[in-house]
Amino acid sequence: MEEYIYPEILKKGDTIGIIAPSAGIAAIFPHRLDNAITYLKSQGYNIKEFSTTRKINGWESAPAKERAKDIMDAFLDKDIKAIICLIGGNTINKTLKFLDFQKIKENPKIFCGYSDISVLHYALNKKCKFTTFYGPCIMTQFGEYPNPLDYTIKYFNKAIVEKDIGEVKASNEWTEETLDWSEKKDLERPRELIKNPGFEWLKEGKVKGNIIGGCLPSIIQLIGTEYWPSHNNKILFIELPEGQEFNKGEPLAEVDANLANLEIAGIFKEIKGLIIGRPFKYSQEETNKFKEILLDNTKDYNFPILFGVDIGHTDPQITIPLEAETEIDSINNIFKINI
């Protein structure tokens, strides 16, 4: 099994670089970025912004070459210990051809984000062989009013500050409520949290392997390309984004097709286990249908499936170090990440 470098942990006084390698909505909602910066500075970190951090160019922050330059500059800046992405989006894949992965490989550091950022996680995994972190983004989690959710920060710190995760417990409460950022409704009150029923086992079993994964429609973009990493003997996690309308979940027909793509590509033959993030903006009926789709697409395989984990587009969320040894065990109801 290949060895992956685990970047140096983040300490008070370190500098965090904020880049916008995908969408660029800080130009529209600067208060979310400012909230995040205020919070991170309160925790003892310094902040560095880049040319695209507050830019917008349609559905992206800037043209791909400029976004790629910020990615490179952040990795090559010796003063920056961690890079946290502004938010997800749709077109981070356009930056890949402009990146010098050899130079990035020579300068491994903490890289964190989710959603469309999955594409860069996968490319870095394949090309650079160091651990990156599937976790909170600046505007969506660190910009939360009045502060980021405790559970999100707890698991971010476990992965990036303490380098000690261990058993992952389900959050007590969660939310998918959206408060209008344009009218600054998100500054009027915290989002409403509801009781979390906890994890659910769709298929039982006990396995151990390195963890890899991301946002399902994002990682699918890379199948068959030079940026697709090995999934052999690994535990795969996937989660779903919002749909075309932000207040609706990813269409189930798209989910079904993307899961079928994973099977066609032979991924379900390779993996040892599957972890599913809690779906975003699904009714109970849609959630039940999602489970049916999962079981239908994996019916020819006997790996365990853990459902409803705090990963991705609902809040709070855990931070997952890609390639960390992970154990899922339905008998003892355990999800554990060993660093």
**pLDDT tens-place string over residues 238-257:** 999 998 777 899 999 999 99
- The per-residue pLDDT of the chain, averaged, comes to 97
* pLDDT (0 to 100) of residue 245: 78
pLDDT of res. 246: 77
Backbone angles phi, psi at 167, to 5 degrees: -70, 130
Question: Is the model's pLDDT at 264 over the cut of 70?
Answer: yes
Confidence of residue 1 (pLDDT cuts 50, 70, 90): low
Q: 220 pLDDT exceeds 70?
A: yes
pLDDT of 2 higher than 90: no
DSSP 130: B
Just give the CATH number of 15-164: 3.40.50.10740
| pLDDT at 330 exceeding the cut of 70 | yes
In three-state secondary structure terms, 253 is: helix
Nearest to 18 by CA among 82, 64, 61, 78: 82
pLDDT at 250: 97
* Domain boundary assignment for the chain: 15-164, 167-338
Query: Is 15's pLDDT higher than 70?
Result: yes
- The mean per-residue pLDDT over the stretch 124-144 comes to 98
- What average pLDDT does this structure show over 160-183? 97
pLDDT recorded at residue 247: 82
**pLDDT given for residue 114 in this prediction:** 98
Mean pLDDT of 76-87: 98
Cα–chain center distance at 141: 11
pLDDT digits (tens, 9 = 90+) for 30-66: 999 999 999 999 999 999 999 999 999 999 999 999 9
CATH of range 167-338; options 2.70.210.12, 3.30.1280.10, 3.50.30.60, 3.50.50.60: 3.50.30.60
Query: How do residues 287-325 score in pLDDT, each as one tens digit?
Result: 999 999 999 999 999 999 999 999 999 999 999 999 999
Q: List C-alpha distances in Å: 250 to 15, 122, 194.
A: 35, 21, 21
pLDDT tier, 212 (very low <50, low <70, confident <90, very high otherwise): very high
Tokens of 2: 């290949």
pLDDT > 70: what percent of the chain? Answer: 100
State the Cα–Cα distance between residues 243 and 178, nearest whole angstrom: 14
